[in-house]
């Protein structure tokens, strides 16, 4: 049984919400990426990778999101980055 099935069953049984399930896809982000991007005035390109991470897998899908300009509000920029990557991952899982 994979994690998607386990989480899906928890939603079906009303143990967790769909929002909680989608939040569980990614761990919390630390601030290193947005901090470095802010200090160097560079954009961050969100990347979502889905598929089977096994030795002989041939179904990995990599999707690139729109570049993000980091503001002085690192917390807001960090949340924007996480949401962007989460959306990319969720959209890939549906295909």
| pLDDT tens per residue, range 24-63 | 778 888 999 999 999 999 999 999 988 877 777 788 889 9
Report the C-alpha gap between 30 and 24 in whole angstroms: 16
Residue-range domain boundaries for the chain: 28-93
Report the C-alpha gap between 69 and 35 in whole angstroms: 12
Residue with tokens 């069953």: 9
What's the whole-model pTM score? 0.75
| pLDDT tens per residue, range 5-33 | 666 777 788 777 777 766 777 888 899 99
Report the C-alpha gap between 50 and 93 in whole angstroms: 7
């Amino acid at each position: 049984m994979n994690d998607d099935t386990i989480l899906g069953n928890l939603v079906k049984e009303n143990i967790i919400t769909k929002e909680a399930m989608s939040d569980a896809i990614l761990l919390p982000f630390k601030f290193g990426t947005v901090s470095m991007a802010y200090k160097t005035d560079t954009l961050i390109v969100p990347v979502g990778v889905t598929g089977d991470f096994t030795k002989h897998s041939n179904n990995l899908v990599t999707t690139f999101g729109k570049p993000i300009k980091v503001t002085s509000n690192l917390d807001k920029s960090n949340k924007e980055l996480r949401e962007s990557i989460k959306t990319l991952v969720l959209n890939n899982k549906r295909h």
